[in-house]
Structure 1
Amino acid sequence: MPLLRVEGLTVRYGALTALNDMSWQVEAGEILGIIGPNGAGKSSCFAAVTHAVRRAGTVWLADEDVTGLPTFELARRGLRRTFQQNAFFGELTLLENAMAAMLREHSTSLPRSIALPWRERTTRRNAEAAAAKLLTSFGIEPQDHGKRPGDIAYGTQRLLSVVLAYGAGAHALLIDEPAAGTGGTDMRRLADLLVDLRRRGVAVVVIEHHMDLIMAIADRIVVIDQGRKLAEGAPAEVQRNPAVLEAYLGRAA
């Protein structure tokens, strides 16, 4: 059974149809790549899946129809996303950002904090330990945990955005252009992170323009052009598809 399945997603902005009858699915422990030219509807697809825009169609998480649930409830159930721009609290340290991402799992109610202050201190220590473990497990070294996001390398910032979206554990993670602005060692670290998410059993969906990266890590690829699904298959199949070569890969070359 696919962990995340979307059927017939359609998004319209006035007279513009940004996404037209889009369907795909991804299993736990699988990486699905989504590629296409600029303006093809890729980010609109993520917005539709997470109910950030008005749309038609159906979204299933595991065996449950979650189409009508608001974005925050989808996130609570483990369907989360990143954005093209880095998303974190700039005035907090990396450790504090990670603690904020895990707040639901490591928090104490106000009455209990007042009545049992020792429990609040214990909860905070546990939250700090969990946040440090989260960052380190995804390759963000302890010496950086006390820094603010603006004081670390851009490549590490890109990793941080994905790690914060994962938080205490996502079931399905939609990642929008994680390699934007990176290359070399940073891109290899990112590839390792995405593969690690797959090993953890996360259903990963990645929008990406770096063809070398997506072809190397994706199990399957969906190609979108002008709001429609143009092709779907294994990376090698997609690379040989004449329609894809004409619409995207060939155009990019």
Structure 2
Amino acid sequence: MANPFSKGWKYLTASLDQKIEENADPLVQIQQASEAAKRQHQQVREQATQVIGNRNQLEMKLNRLVGERDELEKKARQALSLAEGEQDSARASELQQAAEIYATQLVGVEQELENAKTLHSQASSAADEATRQLQQSEARLKDQMAQIDQLRSQVQQTKMQEASAATMDQIGSMDPDRDVPSLDQVREKIERRYAQALGSQELTEHSMQDRMAEIESSAGDMRAQARLEQIRAELSAPESAKKEIES
């Protein structure tokens, strides 16, 4: 039977991991991926360096053993040559023993040289493979860095777009200042005053027209009254002349 506490703990840690993953900064994750890729390439480089170094060390050992072999072979030849030409049997025996010693040492060096050649051959193959893997790692790292740069650019562009959208949303959600009149209110006020001014001007013009009409009408009435008096005078003129004749 499963332990409820262990099961709950696994669920809790999985939930926390998911929350962390959801809230993680993509740029931080990209940086982590970049560092991981570089570390992996560095490990490949270090391993290749060790393998190639081992081959180089074996090459130096081969050169040293070849030098020792040649030197021992030379000494053995000299000792044999001297022993063959030596008249003194005791001295000849010493030279013969020296030659044998050189020969024994030569055999040991030659055996060590053969072993070193085998190891060097293996090390050379391993070094070639390490070099090939290092080249592949370098190409892979270059490709990963290019992808990382592209992802970093996309994340930065996304953040800029998100920031711009958030700013526009913030501007759209801002409440207008109640203490400051809006543009529509100012326009309405100006138009109302302008309309009232036009109305006042129109009334003034109508009033002036009415006044002028009244003056003109009054003048007409005065002329009509004067004309009427003239006619009345003309009508009364003959009677006056008649009365003067009769008298």
Range of TM-score over shorter length: under 0.3
Query: TM-score under structure 1 normalisation?
Result: 0.21
* Larger fraction in strand: 1
> Which structure has the higher relative contact order (CA within 8 Å, separation 6+)?
1
Q: Which TM-score applies when normalising by structure 2? A: 0.21
